[in-house]
A and B are shown apart, each in its own frame.
Chain A
Amino acid sequence: MTTPTSQTVYTESDIINVATEAGRLLLLGGAESFRIEETVEHIGKSLGLPLTCYVTMTAVVVSANNGVQTKLVKARISGFNLQTVDRVNSLSRDLVAGTISPDAFYVAIDDLKQRVVDFPLAVKVLSAGLVAMAPSLIGQGTGLDFVLMFFAGIIGYLCYVMTDRYSKTPYAPEFIGGFGIGLFVLMSHSLLSGSSSLSIILGAVMPLVPGLAMTNAIREIIMGDVLSGLVRSINALLVVSSLVTGVWLALEIVNFV
């Protein structure tokens, strides 16, 4: 897509292109379907071409209301990146309010497409350790267990991120993450006899389990996006299954050997 210079009259395909791109960025960032549809339609309205948008979990369809053009892009969701969502949201809000020009909006969306804003990996891994010390497990573990949960969570998330980086196989990252957790828990169990394996495993999988995805899926079903809600909940189920398989395989292999 070429970026139009100022004083250009935007063609319909330009507007559809940029709106679709904004929608795709929102979908990749993990925004809810109804929010994406709303944002894309507002962008279209403020650029002067009323649009209709339909989003499923894997695709964005944007169609002009006068029925001439339609664009469909496919996307593949992997996790959350809410900073992108925030940027696109505030850009589109500025556009609707009229504080930035359509030109600046085009440039900013293009720029956002190329650059991924992210926390450093070390910070994310450490915070995975913090998430792993789940407050709901209070009373089910000693202080030592919580320390072990911290490290198990770090190991699991690290395995997850590394596999995600080098492998394209679906659900492999969760599987390897669960496998790493299983191995670590077994090792700690044999070294420190006082630790309770089950609650450590339950804590360590907290950064990886899609509890939030399940809750969001039900929210989407309530909001009327039944299709995308169902797809999300099935995806969540598969993610949990692959985690369980990973942990279970680690336990079985060690038992077997």
Chain B
Amino acid sequence: MVNFLFSTFLALLSSIGFSIIANVPQRALLGAGMTGVCSWIAYYLLNLVYHSIVVPNFAAALVVGVLGFYLARRFRVPVTMIYVGALISLVPGGMAFSTLQKISENNLSAVLKGLFNTGCVAISLALGVGVANIFNGIFYKKKRVASER
């Protein structure tokens, strides 16, 4: 429980911090933080239940896609600005790092496993955001025609 609360707090800090590094406009920071926290909660809870890495990441990216799209419209920013910060706790950057580090230890099976896992996480995140876009397209169809372009 302590771990859960602490990591959720860290997820908030990470999302806002990476948004600042990527230089998003200030009005997107709050949305990025909220989306990051919600997706982290989804990831953490599902990670306790499932032993696969695909399902929790997919679900978390789904949350990012739906909530991020809603908040992007709410705060009037392009949706990428929300994704950048919100996905940072999920993206397989550290995993890619430790994979390549295994090369220097000559541990081939660990390298192959790491490459496979990194690819799986990246693909499931991309698919989660993509599937969320299908829903967004259905929900916001009328409004989009009126307001965009």
Contacts and interface: CB of A to CB of B under 8 A. Distances in A.
Contact of B78 (A89, A135, A218, A241): A89
A119 B20 contact: yes
A57 interface: no
Interface residues of A, number: 58
B97 to A, nearest CB: 5
Interface string B59-86: 0000000000000000001101100100
Given A42-B149, A89-B78, A211 B88 contact: yes
A226 B148 CA distance: 27
B11 A131 contact: no
A86 B88 contact: no
Nearest to A119: B20
B13 A133 contact: yes
B40 to A, nearest CB: 6
Contacts of A157: 21
A135 to B, nearest CB: 4
Interface string A179-193: 000000000000000
B100 interface: yes
Contacts of B23: 80-83, 117-119
Given A209-B93, A219-B129, A86 B13 contact: no
Contact of A248 (B88, B104, B122): B104
Interface in A112-138: 117-119, 123-124, 126-131, 133-138
B interface secondary structure, majority: helix
Interface residues on B, range: 35 or more
Contact of A215 (B14, B17, B125): B125
B10 A244 contact: no
Contacts of A247: 101
Contact of B94 (A123, A126, A206, A248): A206
B10 A214 contact: no
Contacts of A211: 87-88, 91-94, 96, 122
Given A86-B25, A131-B88, A248-B101, A31 B80 contact: yes
B80 A82 contact: yes
A243 B97 contact: yes
Contact of A136 (B84, B89, B97): B89
Interface in B5-61: 6-8, 10-11, 13-14, 16-18, 20-25, 28, 40
Given A86-B28, A136-B94, A218-B122, 7 more contacts: A83-B24, A85-B80, A130-B14, A134-B10, A135-B11, A212-B84, A219-B129
Interface of B: 3, 6-8, 10-11, 13-14, 16-18, 20-25, 28, 40, 77-78, 80-81, 84, 87-94, 96-98, 100-101, 103-104, 118, 122-123, 125-127, 129-130, 148-149
14 contacts: A32-B80, A83-B24, A130-B14, A130-B17, A134-B10, A134-B14, A134-B89, A135-B11, A135-B14, A139-B3, A202-B98, A217-B122, A244-B100, A248-B101
Interface of A: 30-32, 35, 42, 79-83, 85-86, 89, 93, 96, 117-119, 123-124, 126-131, 133-139, 146, 157, 202-203, 205-207, 209-212, 214-215, 217-219, 222, 236-237, 240-241, 243-244, 247-248
